[in-house]
């Protein structure tokens, strides 16, 4: 037994030798000092050199940089996390700008595709459909007693790559790595879970190395019953848990969120986190364009759960800013696979319904084909000031579309948000060229800086990592019982307030990635106060609340160990 969550205090450890070295949260590698090597019987197991964390960071950084591909670097970092977790986070926190694209988007997508080939050590839980009767027994293990945050996926819609089955576990692992790196939540408080209900990916099923359940994906009533069994078991095991849904297919994502959001403290990052960072980045862009939020016309390519989530939060922001709700709804142009969502179309979902354009509103539009309104026609007729992509369609922001948008808008705001990079709707360099250098750009994945007229400008990564770690920290600090829409709204406003554009209209839209810890802490404080205002957390004074938030912030440093008898 051991307690590794008490920062700065001696950690009580009951294992020695190889058992100690093989525990990722306890292993220090060559940084065990002479006294610890004596006490914990490490002589001979370790080489004689006694090193420091600084030396270890430099050694690992050099090793990581020596690889030829980002996927090799991803696999290297995953192995480090599974062998020395404190060192992994010390490296990640210090070099977050360089390592974020490796542990998260875009490289995590390739990591999910090849998860079975690089799987080495258990991390998190695979809850497979054949074991549905064992879920409670699996969760009951005492080592999960400290858990406060779960990220769960069923692997069906991994980024823009589709069904990856058990390989989707790479997403919960990556997300929770950012809970720790960005918000400081201790790794022992987090648990990644993959609901393995099979896969319809024939490439995975035919791979002899595939580690998941080899069965076509369970759907319908059987799927719902399995998820219900999981949720009931989680709430029974951890009544105060924060559960984050991640990369569920659109047909399930919104439905599961609505079903469970009032039963436990839960949110869907693809829907709500994406909406929050999109809103925050747009609010920052307003500082540059001078076009008030209430005067924006917003086109969204991709009217699934993410697109509707973004639209809903922006709608609320526009109404809060004083715009009549009907006028605000009419300012949205959602484009799906069948074109602009217009009154009378078949297959309109409940989430899309609030944003349906009335047929008479487009009667005067100039269309190449009657009643087939594509993205180009929306640009030509609606003249949107903002274009957001969450479609997973690489290159969907074509040159004609962007040039048409730029004809009517002085500073087009363009957010191709689909992940990974290979699924982005547009590349920043093209978007800048096609708008004659006038576009304000935010992307879902990292891109190289763009150059226009001899000036090189960094590209802002409009990434959920600005939002969800702070949401989690705020929920824990406030002891929140639910996650409300108001929390995501206030998180967006905090990110906008921290935008360099708040002081400099020529500044970047978002704070630099190396400031993510500061951003997460600021988001957490605002979210915790919003939880109290929304009545989902008990009130306390600000000093107490800030102290509770800070108590969850862990710094990845080696602590002294104290040997105790086994439990």
Cα 127 to Cα 146: distance, rounded to the nearest angstrom: 19
How many Cα atoms occupy the beta-carbon half-sphere of 448 within 13 Å? 3
Any idea what DSSP says for residue 565? -
Angle at 101 between CA 95 and CA 106, to 5 degrees: 175
Does the annotation flag 222 for ligand binding?
Answer: no
Mapped onto helix, strand or coil, the DSSP state of residue 298 is strand
Using DSSP, state whether 435 is helix, strand or coil: coil
User: How far is it between the farthest Cα atoms of the chain?
Assistant: 84
DSSP-assigned states of every residue in 126-186: EEEGGGGGGHHHHHT-GGGTT--EEEEE-SSS-TTS---GGGGGHHHHHHHHHHHHHH---
The answer on whether 247 is annotated among ligand-binding residues is yes
In 3D space, the residue among 135, 533, 486 whose CA is nearest the CA of residue 276 turns out to be 486
Closest among 189, 185, 190, 188 to 554, alpha carbons compared: 185
Q: Annotated catalytic residue: which of 175, 333, 466, 561?
A: 175
Task: Tell me whether residue 59 is annotated as binding.
Answer: no
Q: Which class for 553: exposed (0-12), middle (13-18), buried (19 or more C-beta within 10 A)?
A: middle
Query: Under a CB-based contact definition with an 8 Å cutoff, are residues 103 and 92 in contact?
Result: yes
What single string gives the DSSP state of each residue in 68-114?
Answer: SSHHHHHHHHHHHHTT-HHHHHHHHHHTHHHHHHHHSTTHHHHHHHT
Can 175 be counted among the known catalytic residues? yes
447: alpha, beta or left, given left = phi > 0 and alpha = psi -120 to 50? beta
Residue 173 three-state SS: helix
The DSSP code for 46 is: B
H or E stretch at 38: helix 34-39
What's the Cα-to-Cα distance from 504 to each of 105, 497, 507, rounded to whole Å? Answer: 29, 12, 5
Q: Is 463 annotated as a binding residue?
A: yes
Q: Which of 28, 74, 89, 104 is catalytic?
A: 104
Task: Give yes or no for a contact between 153 and 173, defined as CB atoms under 8 angstroms apart.
Answer: no
Inter-residue contact 553 to 473 (CB < 8 Å): yes
Collapse the DSSP code of 268 into the 3-class scheme (helix H, G, I; strand E, B; otherwise coil) and give the result: strand
DSSP SS3 for 532: helix
Residues 6+ apart with CB under 8 A from 145: none
User: Considering Cα of 333, then 336, then 337, then 338, what sign does the dihedral take?
Assistant: negative
* Short-list 516, 486, 480, CA closest to 498: 516
Q: Please answer whether residues 103 and 74 qualify as being in contact, where contact means their C-beta atoms are separated by less than 8 angstroms.
A: yes
Q: For residues 242 and 149, is the Cβ–Cβ distance under 8 A? A: yes
User: Which residues pair with residue 538 across a beta bridge?
Assistant: none
Report the binding-site residues for (S)-malate.
157, 419, 463
Residues recognised as catalytic: 104, 175
Report the binding-site residues for a divalent metal cation.
246-247, 270
Report the binding-site residues.
157, 246-247, 270, 419, 463
């Amino acid at each position: 037994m051991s307690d590794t969550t008490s920062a700065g205090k001696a950690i009580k450890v009951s294992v020695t030798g190889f058992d100690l070295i093989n525990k990722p949260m306890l292993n220090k590698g060559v940084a065990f000092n002479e006294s610890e090597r004596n006490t914990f019987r490490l002589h001979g197991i370790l080489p004689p050199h006694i090193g420091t964390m600084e030396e270890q960071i430099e050694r690992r950084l050099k090793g990581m940089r020596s690889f030829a591909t980002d996927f090799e670097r991803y696999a290297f970092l995953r192995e480090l996390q599974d062998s020395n977790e404190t060192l992994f986070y010390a490296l990640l926190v210090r070099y977050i700008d360089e390592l974020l694209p490796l542990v998260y988007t875009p490289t995590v997508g390739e990591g999910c595709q090849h998860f079975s080939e690089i799987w080495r050590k258990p991390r998190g839980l695979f809850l497979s459909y054949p074991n549905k009767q064992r879920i409670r027994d699996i969760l009951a293990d005492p080592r999960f007693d400290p858990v406060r945050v779960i990220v769960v996926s069923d692997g069906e819609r991994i980024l823009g790559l589709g069904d990856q089955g058990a390989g989707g576990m790479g997403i919960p692992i990556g997300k929770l790595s950012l809970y720790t790196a960005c918000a400081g939540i201790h790794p022992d408080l987090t648990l990644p879970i993959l609901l393995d209900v099979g896969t319809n990916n024939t490439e995975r099923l035919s791979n002899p190395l595939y580690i998941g359940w080899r069965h076509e994906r369970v759907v319908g009533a059987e799927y719902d019953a399995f998820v219900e069994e999981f949720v009931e078991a989680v709430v029974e095991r951890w009544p105060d848990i924060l559960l984050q849904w991640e990369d569920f297919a659109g047909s399930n994502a919104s439905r599961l969120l609505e079903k469970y959001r009032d039963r436990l403290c839960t949110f869907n990052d693809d829907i709500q986190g994406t909406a929050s960072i999109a809103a925050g980045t747009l609010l920052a862009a307003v500082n540059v364009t001078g076009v008030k939020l209430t005067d924006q016309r917003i086109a969204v390519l991709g009217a699934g759960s993410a697109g509707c989530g973004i639209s809903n939060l922006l709608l609320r922001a526009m109404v809060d800013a004083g715009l009549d709700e009907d006028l605000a709804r009419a300012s949205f142009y959602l484009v799906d696979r069948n074109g602009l969502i217009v009154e009378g179309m078949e297959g309109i979902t409940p989430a899309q319904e609030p944003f349906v354009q009335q047929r008479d509103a487009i009667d005067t539009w100039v269309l190449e084909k009657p009643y087939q309104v594509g993205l180009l026609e929306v640009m030509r007729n609606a003249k949107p000031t903002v274009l957001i992509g969450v479609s997973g369609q690489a290159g969907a922001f074509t040159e004609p579309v962007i040039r048409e948008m730029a004809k009517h808008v002085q500073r087009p705001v363009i957010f191709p948000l689909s992940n990974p990079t290979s699924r982005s709707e547009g590349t920043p360099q093209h978007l800048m060229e096609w708008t004659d250098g006038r576009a304000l750009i935010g992307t879902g994945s990292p891109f190289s800086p763009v150059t226009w007229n001899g000036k090189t400008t960094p590209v802002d990564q409009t990434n959920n990592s600005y939002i969800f770690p702070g949401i989690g920290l705020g929920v824990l600090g406030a002891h929140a019982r639910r996650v409300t829409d108001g929390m995501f709204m206030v998180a967006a406003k905090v990110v906008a307030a921290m935008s360099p554009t708040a002081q400099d209209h020529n500044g970047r839209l978002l704070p630099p990635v190396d400031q993510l810890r500061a951003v997460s802490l600021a988001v957490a404080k605002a979210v915790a106060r919003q939880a109290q205002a929304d009545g989902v957390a008990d009130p306390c004074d600000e000093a107490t609340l800030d102290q509770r938030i800070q108590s969850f912030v862990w710094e990845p440093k080696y602590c002294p160990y104290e040997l105790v008898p086994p439990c």
